[in-house]
Structure 1
Amino acid sequence: MRIQWRLMDFPRNVKRWVAGKLENCHLAMFTLCYNQFTSFHTMLDAALEPMFWIVDHFTKYMGPIMVTLVVILTTMVVAVFYICVFPHIWYQTEMLWVMVHFFFAHWLLANVIFNYVMAAFTSPGLPPQNVPQAVSICKKCISPKPPRSHHCSICKRCILKMDHHCPWLNNCVGYYNHRYFFLFCFYMWFGTVYVTFAGHDVFKQHFFGKEELTVPAFFFPINMAYQKIWGTKYETKKAEAASSSKSPSTDDQSPEALTGYGDMMFHNAIIFQFILCAGVSVALGLLMVWHAHLIGRGETSIEAHINTKQRKRYRKKGLIYKNPYNFGFWGNWKRFFGLGRGRTFWRHVLFPSFHDPLGDGLMWETSTYKSSHSNGLQLL
């Protein structure tokens, strides 16, 4: 009976022994590393410090590379659209729809180029030494910080209404170029979706290989260019072979081999464009939705984290925290686009516009709320 009792008690003793060892390890760790100011966020920041160091020291060098990559990929997509997709549209649809595609595609392209150039080369806004209202002193710049300003560890300076540092722009997104950044994301996403749908038929024909091309091969400028360049060389070689009583060779320089090479390039270009645009449309769409959500709430990316902590802190005290720069969904969008003083959505958002945001980025109007027993806090 005693042996049976000890066997039944064995798992419980093992569990108690393991729990005791873990408790001793936990006590030893706190004895050596205890700090009353330590929290989960502090330990997470310490653990991620190597990654922050890498970002701070290498992002500024990756910026020019990523900007060059954006320019190259965009140029390739536009070139493939002109050479492969647009002739397909021309051949299959009526002239009215061809003109609609023509003007719509160029409207998108003009907005993409304009907003990207402005977002990349417009200064996001730097606070002056003398500011009318300062909320704190920057520990790195040793200068007063206006409301909504933050220090960029990559640019080594404070930015007015800083949202984030974008390596794809090699620039900070702040007060003066935030609108350009968002419109670039929107029009680039819209453009990739448009190219994906416009070239879907051609992509299916090439990817699945069940149908021949609807458009004749001679219609495409790329095939015509190859035939013009290499066909002349082949005729020259044929004449030389005839003069020397030799039959023309069918090596890699022949039009037959050339046509296969041109078809392969055309085939790869169609598939590359579709896969690239489809992938970018998904990734850029998610990024655009996130920023649209923040703009609708009157927040930047940095303020979203700050306001989340503030809400948790106020909730513990039984209070409700409200973002002081939130003027309602439509009010936030109007302020973001700078619509006022006679500016309209149709002229200053749908088409390229150089207009500045409302205000100076130093003084900010804040919203006020009233308390209601039935509806809680309401925006005035």
Structure 2
Amino acid sequence: MSSSSLAGRLYTVGVSLLIASIAYPSQFFLFAPGFQDAASCIKALLPLNLLVLMVYWNYYLAVKTDPGQVPEEWVRSLLVPCNEERRAEGITGPRYCKTCDIYKPPRTHHCRYCRRCVLKMDHHCPWINNCVGYHNYPHFVRFTLYVSVASLYILILLIWRVRTILNDLSHFRFDSEPTTAEVILYVVEFALAIIVLFCVGMLCVYHLYCLARNQSTIEGWERSKVNRLIRRGKISPVKYPFDVGFYRNICLVMGNNPLLWLWPQQVRGDGLTFPVISHTGTITILDNKSLSKYTAIHMDA
């Protein structure tokens, strides 16, 4: 096992333990003793455990799902030549990865950590020991969303429990006075939940924004660079081709049924072709099966 692989496994184990350390000690030692009957306890803690289940499920899928690699048959040997006349018409050939020695489909980028090209690469995430790409991006988004909601839910329960204890003490009911160990656990759980909610919550909000605009993190960086050049008058205004509308943008990633957006499901599509708005350039290639046209913006990582 290589050192990088070992470090990646340690990251995933650490994340799994962090989730467990926030979710379970608080339930067993802090929340459960505060309920007067089992029914109230189940009613309050069942939603939390369902959230934790979805956190683990989507985390597992984000870690284990291959983000997408370029099929060997995507480009065989014959390429439509792109002369000056065709370039003037906005027609360019596919980008080429010198490291992998392959042509890259639209929105594909090379990951130096995974040492291969990834379809619609968003970023390499050490916390999942995997690239976030076309096939596992929805799992990653759902993971960050469920972590944020679960952390908020735990914070609400912690605040409720502390207020209950303070109310009992104000009425001289000292039987509910927490021990030193419980006070330490309260402080630790508060700190962990707030840190996770802030960090993962910010990440979640950013990726929901990217989801709504149908852009990856890499494409977001590229768009910022392009906008700066446009403002400086160094290049003519260009239109981002993949933003096909708020609702459709989400459907392209999370699925066509809004009721299933939060449910783990296999990503449809091949990660090679994408719907685009009109009046964008066209990439044309010839493989061993048929002449296929791919429309995309030309952006290099």
2:62 matched to which residue of 1?
119
| 3-state SS in 1 of match to 2:179 | helix
Aligned-residue offset at 1:350: 3.2
Q: Deviations over 1:158-188 (max 9, x none)?
A: 1000000101101100000000001100000
* 1:91-102 superposed matches below 5 A: 91=36, 95=39, 98-102=41-45
2:289 matched to which residue of 1?
none
Supply the distance in 2 between the matched residues of 1:292 and 1:73 (Cα, whole angstroms). Answer: 24
CA contact (8 A) 2:32 2:41 kept: no
* 1:69-148 superposed matches below 5 A: 69-91=14-36, 95=39, 98-131=41-74, 135-148=94-107
CA contact (8 A) 2:254 2:267 kept: no
CA contact (8 A) 2:253 2:267 kept: no
1:157 matched to which residue of 2?
116
1:326 matched to which residue of 2?
243
1:363 matched to which residue of 2?
273
* 1:169-184 superposed matches below 5 A: 169-184=128-143
Q: CA 1:294–1:213 in structure 2 vs 1: closer, same or farther (change >3 Å)?
A: farther
Aligned-residue offset at 1:67: 1.4
* Of 155-164 and 197-206, the range deviating more from structure 2: 197-206
* Of 287-296 and 172-181, the range deviating more from structure 2: 287-296
Unaligned stretches of 5+ in structure 1? Answer: 1-56, 218-261, 371-380
Supply the distance in 1 between the matched residues of 2:154 and 2:172 (Cα, whole angstroms). Answer: 18
Aligned-residue offset at 1:314: 4.3
Aligned-residue offset at 1:70: 1.0
Q: CA 1:176–1:89 in structure 2 vs 1: closer, same or farther (change >3 Å)?
A: farther
2:261 matched to which residue of 1?
349
* Of 68-77 and 176-185, the range deviating more from structure 2: 68-77
CA contact (8 A) 2:27 2:45 kept: no
* 1:282-293 superposed matches below 5 A: 282-293=198-209
Q: CA 1:350–1:318 in structure 2 vs 1: closer, same or farther (change >3 Å)?
A: closer
Q: CA 1:284–1:59 in structure 2 vs 1: closer, same or farther (change >3 Å)?
A: farther
TM-score after normalising by structure 2? 0.76
Aligned-residue offset at 1:210: 6.3
Unaligned stretches of 5+ in structure 2? Answer: 80-92, 281-301
The answer as to 2:234 corresponding to 1:298 is: no
1:66 matched to which residue of 2?
11
| 3-state SS in 2 of match to 1:199 | helix
Greater Rg by CA: 1
Supply the distance in 1 between the matched residues of 2:120 and 2:5 (Cα, whole angstroms). Answer: 20
Aligned-residue offset at 1:149: 0.5
Paired positions, count: 262
Q: Deviations over 1:334-353 (max 9, x none)?
A: 111022xxxx222x2333x3
| 3-state SS in 2 of match to 1:91 | coil
Give the superposed CA RMSD: 3.2
Q: What fraction of aligned residue pairs are identical, expressed as a percent?
A: 27
Aligned-residue offset at 1:82: 2.3
Supply the distance in 2 between the matched residues of 1:312 and 1:120 (Cα, whole angstroms). Answer: 35
TM-score after normalising by structure 1? 0.61
> 2:56 is matched by which residue type in structure 1?
I
Supply the distance in 2 between the matched residues of 1:213 and 1:335 (Cα, whole angstroms). Answer: 58
2:195 matched to which residue of 1?
279
Supply the distance in 2 between the matched residues of 1:180 and 1:319 (Cα, whole angstroms). Answer: 37
Aligned-residue offset at 1:213: 10
CA contact (8 A) 1:206 1:270 kept: no
From the two aligned structures, give the one with the greater helix fraction: 1
CA contact (8 A) 1:159 1:174 kept: yes
CA contact (8 A) 2:229 2:235 kept: no
Supply the distance in 2 between the matched residues of 1:318 and 1:175 (Cα, whole angstroms). Answer: 30
Supply the distance in 2 between the matched residues of 1:291 and 1:189 (Cα, whole angstroms). Answer: 13
Supply the distance in 2 between the matched residues of 1:127 and 1:281 (Cα, whole angstroms). Answer: 35
**Bigger RCO of structures 1 and 2 (CA < 8 A, at least 6 apart):** 2
| 3-state SS in 2 of match to 1:172 | strand
1:267 matched to which residue of 2?
183
